[in-house]
Homo-oligomer: A and B are copies of this chain.
């Protein structure tokens, strides 16, 4: 078995994932979130879409068996296995602006958004192209009556994993989340491997 690669705390990375390959994401210490975005390897204008995924999966909570779709209605990733069962696809990667607006930070961290922008720059993908992320392990329960939601500690325990199979050739961006609210203040690393 391939060894895990570590995404250090409050950082991000980007890499290629070819059709048929599996991406296994592990929360090594528990209660951490990883923001995942995906782009077509051969055409970067094709990008993961929360709305198209909701259109075709009829639920805002995605887990084992669900497919994540692109803006062009193609399946990008298939969730094959999921220890946790709760992830978020509503919210965007934390950024200088979210830290400024939501946390009143004077000198904000660049956040998952800045980390993704830096990593994706190697693939000529600009910051404005970063979509709503599939926020692995992020726990955002929604009140169906009022529509209001809150960001709660992830349900992931140390060693929990989720496995995606790529349905097309992709560029993946991933982070170890930088926003304290998302991970109960832990801001620990995230591990992954490609099989």
A126 to B149, CA, bound (A): 33
What's the minimum C-beta distance from A100 to chain B, rounded to whole angstroms? Answer: 8
Contacts of A98 in B (CB 8 A): 55, 73
> Given B49, B91, B142, which contacts A144 in the complex, CB threshold below 8 Å?
B142
> Assembly of this chain: how many copies?
2
Judged by a CB distance under 8 angstroms, whether A122 is at the interface is no
A59 to B140, CA, bound (A): 11
What's the minimum C-beta distance from A84 to chain B, rounded to whole angstroms? Answer: 14
Q: Contact check, A56 vs B144: say whether CB atoms are below 8 A apart.
A: no
User: A interface, how many residues as a size bin?
Assistant: 35 or more
| Contacts of A109-161 to chain B: CB distance below 8 A | 126, 128, 130-132, 141-150
Q: Contact check, B146 vs A51: say whether CB atoms are below 8 A apart.
A: no
Judged by a CB distance under 8 angstroms, whether A52 is at the interface is yes
Contacts of A4 in B (CB 8 A): none
> Given B51, B91, B141, B145, which contacts A90 in the complex, CB threshold below 8 Å?
B51
